């Protein structure tokens, strides 16, 4: 990945190509950039003792039910030292690796990391159900030595909360603080001064610290990995949906420029066809990222127990919970963005003398720009309604 184009150089390259009236080159540059962005590999390692809840966490993040065919088996004794990769259902560039517990292997932490192939992982999540132990700490220190990042997750918080609720003086905040202190203690005993631990329930990812974990990882990942990571995470807060929307939005100018460049290539009929298949794949990515495709919604229904039909009921966009074909997309775009198209014509005609590029290009740019923004807004709103319906998260 050494020669990966940086964002800045893409902008410059495209601008240069357009100034030289080489629309085909501009289009090619943008296509390469968008392809690269779509295929950024992300490898997340989930490790911790047997029974700590690793496999369940892997499944929850992928939105896969524990008894789904493609699920990581849970509640089983670990017998191999294989790290097993589980692909994200909608973004197969993102892999979650279910690692065996270091304790089961009778290895040193260093040997363990060598065995599972430390190098390929972008970061490690070390899971514990109560208190981190010597093995977890040894592992963390070894990971640190190898200049990789790790995060501590205290799992099964719902179990602790349920148990505490039976007591007369239940106070959730106090209970969470106790769990946090207890979880942290083992790490402090082993010399981690102020470790950050995230309290998570794989049964209800939207509660406790999971949204904060996502936000933290997103912040700490290298720039070119941030979006790949974010889009593959399940929607667990309204802010997260807004951040996904922002991530998609940042690409729209490239897509609009691409459609303009294609429109500038004087092959009659080509522009519409290229545009449309491009738009179908882009909008499909939006639907995947917001978990609004039929399989994702079914998985969500399975995970939350809210019937699929009820989730579908709150969806307003005709592009969600369906299969997006070029015909459908064209129909919806004309319907929803028809007004935008008229505006595009009008605004476009104002730009022509300034830019000195063909009208067809301006029109294409403006239309794609507006249409994608409209569709994105609609889908983000649907995602928020589905989040509210499925787990009561409100604005
Ligand atoms: N209630 C609850 N149970 C969990 C949670 N995470 C895991 N479990 C249960 O804990 C047991 C061990 O989980 P598993 O994922 O197989 O642990 P692993 O050995 O680390 O992969 C299983 O019976 C899970 O159903 C959680 O967040 N909440
Ligand atoms: Mg397991």
How does the average pLDDT of the chain come out, rounded?
88
The residue with greater pLDDT, 330 or 121, is 121
* Closest residue by CA, ligand 1 atom 6: 53
* Closest residue by CA, ligand 1 atom 23: 75
Give residues with Cβ within 8 angstroms of 290, minimum separation 6.
235, 241, 244, 320, 379, 380, 382, 383
pLDDT 10s digits, 341-358:
666 666 655 554 445 566
Residues with Cβ within 6 A of ligand 1? 48, 50-56, 74-75, 155-156, 158-159, 201-203
Q: What is the pTM assigned to this prediction?
A: 0.92
In a domain, 33, yes or no: no
Residue 140 shares a structural domain with residue 258? no
What mean pLDDT comes out for the span 118-143? 92
What mean pLDDT comes out for the span 5-29? 83
- Tell me what pLDDT residue 243 has: 98
* Closest residue by CA, ligand 1 atom 22: 75
Contact by Cβ (8 Å): 264, 274: no
In a domain, 124, yes or no: yes
Residue 193 shares a structural domain with residue 280? no
Residue 205 shares a structural domain with residue 78? yes
Number of domains in the chain: 2
What mean pLDDT comes out for the span 108-131? 92
Q: How far apart are CA 288 and CA 304, in angstroms?
A: 19
Residue 68 shares a structural domain with residue 205? yes
Residue 193 shares a structural domain with residue 279? no
CA of 53 to the centre of ligand 1 (A): 4
pLDDT band at 3 (very low <50, low <70, confident <90, very high): very low
pLDDT band at 271 (very low <50, low <70, confident <90, very high): low
pLDDT band at 320 (very low <50, low <70, confident <90, very high): very high
Residue whose C-alpha is closest to residue 299's, from 196, 179, 386, 212: 386
User: φ and ψ at 214, to 5 degrees?
Assistant: -60, -45
The residue with greater pLDDT, 259 or 99, is 99
In a domain, 29, yes or no: no
In a domain, 35, yes or no: no
pLDDT band at 234 (very low <50, low <70, confident <90, very high): very high
Residue 216 shares a structural domain with residue 245? no
CATH number of 163's domain: 3.40.50.300
Residue 223 shares a structural domain with residue 247? no
CA of 52 to the centre of ligand 2 (A): 8
Which ligand number lies closest to the CA of residue 101?
1
In a domain, 18, yes or no: no
* Closest residue by CA, ligand 1 atom 5: 156
223-232 helix and 23-38 helix, angle to the nearest 10 degrees: 60
- Tell me what pLDDT residue 274 has: 61
Asked if the model's pLDDT at residue 395 lies above 70, the reply is no
Highest mean pLDDT among 74-88, 160-174, 231-245, 268-282: 231-245
Which ligand number lies closest to the CA of residue 59?
1
The residue with greater pLDDT, 9 or 343, is 9
Where do the H-state alpha helices sit in the chain? 7-19, 23-38, 54-62, 109-116, 134-145, 157-165, 172-189, 210-220, 223-232, 238-264, 270-289, 294-304, 308-313, 326-355, 359-391
Q: Which of 232, 265, 293 is the last residue of a domain?
A: 232
Residue 139 shares a structural domain with residue 261? no
Residue 267 shares a structural domain with residue 309? yes
- Tell me what pLDDT residue 79 has: 65
For ligand 2, a single-atom ion, which residues have Cβ within 5 Å? 55
Q: Which of 198, 232, 266 is the last residue of a domain?
A: 232
Percent of the chain with pLDDT strictly greater than 70: 88
Q: Which of 206, 232, 258 is the last residue of a domain?
A: 232
Residue 224 shares a structural domain with residue 270? no
pLDDT band at 23 (very low <50, low <70, confident <90, very high): confident
Which ligand number lies closest to the CA of residue 58?
1
In a domain, 153, yes or no: yes
The residue with greater pLDDT, 351 or 368, is 368
Asked if the model's pLDDT at residue 8 lies above 70, the reply is no
Asked if the model's pLDDT at residue 270 lies above 70, the reply is no
Contact by Cβ (8 Å): 292, 379: yes
What mean pLDDT comes out for the span 293-307? 96
Asked if the model's pLDDT at residue 53 lies above 60, the reply is yes
- Tell me what pLDDT residue 356 has: 54
Q: Can you give the residue range of the structural domain that contains 368?
A: 236-391
Residue 224 shares a structural domain with residue 241? no
In a domain, 281, yes or no: yes
In a domain, 379, yes or no: yes
Residue 228 shares a structural domain with residue 260? no
pLDDT band at 199 (very low <50, low <70, confident <90, very high): very high
pLDDT band at 213 (very low <50, low <70, confident <90, very high): very high
Asked if the model's pLDDT at residue 113 lies above 60, the reply is yes
Q: CB pairs under 8 A, 24+ apart, for 33-40?
A: 33/5, 33/254, 34/251, 34/254, 34/255, 34/258, 36/4, 36/5, 37/224, 37/227, 37/228, 37/251, 38/93, 38/285, 39/93, 40/93, 40/224, 40/225, 40/227, 40/228
């Amino acid at each position: 990945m050494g020669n990966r184009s940086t964002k800045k150089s893409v902008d410059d390259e495209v601008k240069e190509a357009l100034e030289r009236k080489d629309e085909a080159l501009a289009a090619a540059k943008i296509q390469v950039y968008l392809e690269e962005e779509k295929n950024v590999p992300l490898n997340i390692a989930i490790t911790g003792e047997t029974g700590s809840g690793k496999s369940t966490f892997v499944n929850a993040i992928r939105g896969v039910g524990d008894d789904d065919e493609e699920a990581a088996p849970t509640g089983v004794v670990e017998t191999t030292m294989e790290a097993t990769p589980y692909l994200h259902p909608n973004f197969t560039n993102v892999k979650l690796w279910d690692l065996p517990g270091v304790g089961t292997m009778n290895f040193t932490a260093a040997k363990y990391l060598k065995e599972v192939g430390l190098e390929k992982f972008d970061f490690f999540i070390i899971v514990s159900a109560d208190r981190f132990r010597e093995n977890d700490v040894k592992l963390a220190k070894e990971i640190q030595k190898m200049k990789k990042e790790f995060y501590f997750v205290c799992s099964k918080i719902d179990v602790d909360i349920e148990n505490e609720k039976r007591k007369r003086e239940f106070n959730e905040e106090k209970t969470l603080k106790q769990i946090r202190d207890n979880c942290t203690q083992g790490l402090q005993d082993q010399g981690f001064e102020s470790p950050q631990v995230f309290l998570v329930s794989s049964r209800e990812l939207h509660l406790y610290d999971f949204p904060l974990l996502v936000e933290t990882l997103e912040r700490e990942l290298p720039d070119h990995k941030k979006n790949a990571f974010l889009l593959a995470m399940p929607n667990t807060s309204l802010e997260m949906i807004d951040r996904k929307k922002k991530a998609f939005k940042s690409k729209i100018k490239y897509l609009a420029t691409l459609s303009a460049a294609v429109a500038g290539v004087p092959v009659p009929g080509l522009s519409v066809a290229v545009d449309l298949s491009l738009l179908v794949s882009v909008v499909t990515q939006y639907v995947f990222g917001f978990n609004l495709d039929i399989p994702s919604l079914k998985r969500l229904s399975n995970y939350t127990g809210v019937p699929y039909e009820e989730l579908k009921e709150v969806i307003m966009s005709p592009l969600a919970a369906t299969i997006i074909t070029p015909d459908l997309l064209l129909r919806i775009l004309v319907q929803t963005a028809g007004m935008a198209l008229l505006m595009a014509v009008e605004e476009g005609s104002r730009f022509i003398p300034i830019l000195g590029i063909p009208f067809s290009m301006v029109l294409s740019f403006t239309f794609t720009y507006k249409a994608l923004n409209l569709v994105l807004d609609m889908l983000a709103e649907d995602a928020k309604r589905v989040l509210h319906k499925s787990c009561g998260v409100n604005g």
